[in-house]
Amino acid sequence: MSDFIDDSRERSKLLLVDDLYANRVAMRRVLKRLDVDVVEAANGNDALAACLDHEFALILLDVQMPDMDGMEVAALLNGEDSTRDTAVIFVTAGASDDMARLKGYHLGAVDYITKPIEERLLLAKVRNFVELYDSRRALRRARDDLNTVNDQLRGEIEVRRRAEARAQHLATHDALTGLPNRLLFVDRLASLTRRARRRAGRFAIGYMDLDGFKPVNDAYGHRAGDVVLEHVARRLEQTLQDVDTAARFGGDEFALLIEDFDSEQLCLSRCQAMLDALAAPITVPTSAGEIEVAISASLGVAFYPEHGDDIDELMHNADSALYRVKYEGKAGVRLFDSRDDIRPMPEKRADRLISG
């Protein structure tokens, strides 16, 4: 194998296979008129090796060669995925019978040329196949470029989608605990209320805050307080069912939506079990090292539709029940009673925040 014509431009490559040097020289002289790079091979093995190193637009393949003839070379090329679609023009010393040509076509030949070579015919045939190859290569590269652009666009869309999802999450969830915030809680409450109206369903809403949380913040700092809130959030998630919602409204205030229960008493029992879990000691960091603190929680509960059939009334009544728990000694759960609603909500809220 010899005489690879190098060119800095990206030109199509043509493989010229003939065991006679004089034949290769004659065809090389003609092919120089075309804008192609020519690789030459003197036998079938060199031709196969060249196909491993290059992608050819066309192979001019001599049929009669010692050791491995052109038909054998074509059969091996046709058996490989990388070379099966490469165009092959058989070069023969004389006219081939129909059966020989049929065999050649079956092996991937696209045409035949007989020796002695007629220059204009050789140029016309080679030019046609090279132009076809160039068009296909340009189309393939355009498709690859388009796929690359599409992949980039898909990547950018995914990055944007994740950013939007992250922004949406931050807008609807508490930054410290990861629980839903007031905005998302009210949205879920509104959806749950509409669904319960259509299906004559029931659910419970709870307002909860922590007893003795302020002294932890005051004594050990806000980092200790944050650890307490994070532990409370995880324990709420562990004790509530998947259909329920626990939200943080800010500070040490939390809200609950409880959907799946058979009776009021069972719901209240679940709430008490949740408060018992929250009362377990929590290890918090302090300037003097880690210590354990124990806090309790107070919870007021209202049921739909017994204690209200709209959002504002339900939230107000759950808050009223919570106030009564705080007023009567904290660390417990109370179901709303009409007698609890003795003061406007803002006054109760201020009183509870002062009492801690």
Residue 3 included in any domain: no
State which residues form the domain around 338: 182-355
Q: What is the pLDDT of residues 274-283, one digit of tens each?
A: 999 999 999 9
- Which has more confidence, 348 or 232? 232
Q: What is the pLDDT of residues 186-200, one digit of tens each?
A: 999 999 999 999 999
Q: What is the pLDDT of residues 292-327, one digit of tens each?
A: 999 999 999 999 999 999 999 999 999 999 999 998
131, pLDDT greater than 70 = yes
Residue 174 included in any domain: no
% pLDDT > 70, the chain: 91
Q: How confident is the model at residue 98 (pLDDT cuts 50, 70, 90)?
A: low
Give SS3 for 184: helix
DSSP-assigned letter for residue 39:
E
Give SS3 for 155: helix
The pLDDT assigned to 11 comes to 87
The pLDDT assigned to 2 comes to 41
Rounded-to-integer distance, Cα 345 and Cα 326, Å: 14
| Strand order from edge to edge, sheet including 36-41 | 36-41, 12-17, 58-62, 87-92, 109-114
**Cα-based distances in Å from 215 to 69, 91, 209, 231, 326:** 96, 98, 14, 17, 16
Average pLDDT, the chain: 88
| CB atoms closer than 10 angstroms to residue 153 | 10
Q: How confident is the model at residue 354 (pLDDT cuts 50, 70, 90)?
A: very low
Q: How confident is the model at residue 8 (pLDDT cuts 50, 70, 90)?
A: very low
256, pLDDT greater than 90 = yes
Residue 2 included in any domain: no
Both 203 and 330 in one domain: the answer is yes
Residue 158 included in any domain: no
Residue 351 included in any domain: yes
- Domain boundary (80, 112, 141) is at 141
The count of domains in the chain is: 2
Residue 175 included in any domain: no
6, pLDDT greater than 80 = no
Both 260 and 124 in one domain: the answer is no
- Which has more confidence, 102 or 231? 231
Which of 302, 277, 284, 271 shows the shortest CA–CA distance to 213? 284
Question: How confident is the model over 336-351, as a mean pLDDT?
Answer: 61
- Domain boundary (80, 111, 141) is at 141
Residue 233 included in any domain: yes
